[in-house]
């Protein structure tokens, strides 16, 4: 009987000790989680919410290094935990309206294939005030990579696959010669640059990024869209993923902008006699649904965008019409189709003519980019670098020889 009683005492004591340890462990885990959540600042959801609560009433005193636009200090505190993110966004008719373009600091537009244009949207300062649904995300092109490379050391590059020479059913795993031209092999380019691997700064929704940072939503626009038009991303989650992989504001103790060349910026200065109230052009003559028109709005000193004859809107944020402070026409060399998969090639490491529209005025000038990672700089006829009006910038990479009508 004594042994039985002592055995029961042991069981009770051991059980109470176990409950104490379990309770203590749970409390410590909860405390650690809450403590981490409270000190992470811009890297946690509660930290972001706290910082963002200060934005609406705060004065705009901080200049964005990407486009010179003025933001609050609270927004700067957020963007200075991150580095720029370049996102490949499609412009197929079935993908419109896109999500998130109105919050991009800079947008590039160029033909991807068959006269269908594609965007490279740069998100940094304008993505600080809220999480942004971005998309539809599509495949990379080498000339888009060249533009992304301008935004500091290892910017985040968000895409969904890309032109490549990989073939699972082909001898040696490589497509036959001539199927894909070497100059358009985007995935191979990313590998050579060191961007593309499981923890790389190239965030590929088809390879090394999964739900929820990038997900499929075929009902984004209400109706059911095709699978290829359904990939969307969360700006907060993509920035956080970059930070987790070591691509935050700093890398190896250096801020991302240590190698970044800023453009020059100036305040609004509308001209008294507007020289260009409308700008119209086409990329390809047989693709009118991709024709572009910009209309100057003197009241806001900005340009409103129309695509294929319709106001170009953002599906998010109450569906505003896309509007920018600066429109750049960058005339580029076009070659193609260059292979059996009908890829086009555009030379962005080059020099050429340019038209810069700002303040209701037009400047005839030129552009120059001396290397893949070198900054594209725009010059006036005297060879002086052009200053952009503080605010959003849209760069249209139009084939050389195309007509630009403006009045």
CATH of the domain at 118: 3.50.90.10
pLDDT category, 51, cuts 50, 70, 90?
A: confident
User: For the chain, what is the mean pLDDT?
Assistant: 91
Residue 199 sits in the same domain as residue 300: no
User: Which 8-state DSSP code applies to residue 16?
Assistant: H
Residue 278 sits in the same domain as residue 253: no
Residues 6 or more apart whose CB falls under 8 angstroms from that of 224 comprise: 218
Is residue 365, in this structure, part of any structural domain at all?
yes
Q: Mapping DSSP to helix (H, G, I), strand (E, B) and coil, where does residue 49 land?
A: helix
Residue 103 has pLDDT above 80, yes or no: yes
Domain that holds residue 143: 62-259
The reported pLDDT for the residue numbered 41 is: 39
Is residue 251, in this structure, part of any structural domain at all?
yes
256-281: average pLDDT? 96
Which of these ranges, 26-40, 152-166, 274-288, has the smallest mean pLDDT? 26-40
CA distance 250 to 234: 22
pLDDT category, 43, cuts 50, 70, 90?
A: low
Residue 20 has pLDDT above 50, yes or no: no
Asked if 296 and 276 touch (Cβ cutoff 8 Å), the reply is: yes
The reported pLDDT for the residue numbered 47 is: 79
User: Which 8-state DSSP code applies to residue 376?
Assistant: P
Q: Could you give the C-alpha distances from 174 to 170, 179, 343, in angstroms and in order?
A: 6, 10, 17
* pLDDT tens-digit map of 356-366: 999 999 999 99
Residue 194 neighbours by CB distance under 10 Å: 11
Residues 6 or more apart whose CB falls under 8 angstroms from that of 391 comprise: 67, 68, 69, 302, 324, 325, 326
165-176: average pLDDT? 92
Residue 296 sits in the same domain as residue 385: yes
Residue 241 sits in the same domain as residue 309: no
Residue 30 has pLDDT above 60, yes or no: no
Residue 239 sits in the same domain as residue 322: no
Q: What is the pTM of this model?
A: 0.89
Residue 290 sits in the same domain as residue 399: yes
Which of these ranges, 43-52, 80-89, 131-140, 161-170, has the smallest mean pLDDT? 43-52
Is residue 26, in this structure, part of any structural domain at all?
no
Residue 395 sits in the same domain as residue 314: yes
325-348: average pLDDT? 96
């Amino acid at each position: 009987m004594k042994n039985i009683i002592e055995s029961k005492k042991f069981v009770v004591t051991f059980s109470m000790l176990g409950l104490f340890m379990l309770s203590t462990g749970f409390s410590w885990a909860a405390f650690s989680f809450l403590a981490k959540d409270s000190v992470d600042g811009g890297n946690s959801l509660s930290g972001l919410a706290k910082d963002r609560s200060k934005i609406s009433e705060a004065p705009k005193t901080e200049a964005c290094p990407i486009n010179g636009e003025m933001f609050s200090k609270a927004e700067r505190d957020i963007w200075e935990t991150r580095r720029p993110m370049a996102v490949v966004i499609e412009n197929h008719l079935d993908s419109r309206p896109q999500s998130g373009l109105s919050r991009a600091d800079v947008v590039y537009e160029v033909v991807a294939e068959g006269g269908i244009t594609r965007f490279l949207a740069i998100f940094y300062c304008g993505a600080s005030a809220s999480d942004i649904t971005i998309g539809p995300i599509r495949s990379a092109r080498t000339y888009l990579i060249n533009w992304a490379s301008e935004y500091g050391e290892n910017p985040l590059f968000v895409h969904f696959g890309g032109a490549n020479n990989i073939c699972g059913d082909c001898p040696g795993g490589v497509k036959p010669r001539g199927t894909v031209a070497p100059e358009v092999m985007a995935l191979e380019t990313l590998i050579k640059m060191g961007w593309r691997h499981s923890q790389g700064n190239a965030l590929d929704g088809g390879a090394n990024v999964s739900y929820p940072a990038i997900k499929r939503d075929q009902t984004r626009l209400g109706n059911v869209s095709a699978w290829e038009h359904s990939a969307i991303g969360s700006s907060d989650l993509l920035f956080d993923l970059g930070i987790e992989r070591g691509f935050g504001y700093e890398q190896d103790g250096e801020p991302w902008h240590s190698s970044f060349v800023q453009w020059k910026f100036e305040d609004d200065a509308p001209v008294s006699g507007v020289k260009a109230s409308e700008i119209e052009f086409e990329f390809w003559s047989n693709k009118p649904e991709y024709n572009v028109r910009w209309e100057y709005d003197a009241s806001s000193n900005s340009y409103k965008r129309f695509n294929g004859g319709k106001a170009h809107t953002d599906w998010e944020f109450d569906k505003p019409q896309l509007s920018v402070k600066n429109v750049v026409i960058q005339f580029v060399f076009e070659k193609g189709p260059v292979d059996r998969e009908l890829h086009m090639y555009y030379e962005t490491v080059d020099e050429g003519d340019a038209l810069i529209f700002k303040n209701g005025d037009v400047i005839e000038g030129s552009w120059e980019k001396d290397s893949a990672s070198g900054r594209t700089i725009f010059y006036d006829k005297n060879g002086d670098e052009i200053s952009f009006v503080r605010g959003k910038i849209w760069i249209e990479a139009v084939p050389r020889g195309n007509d630009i009508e403006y009045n």
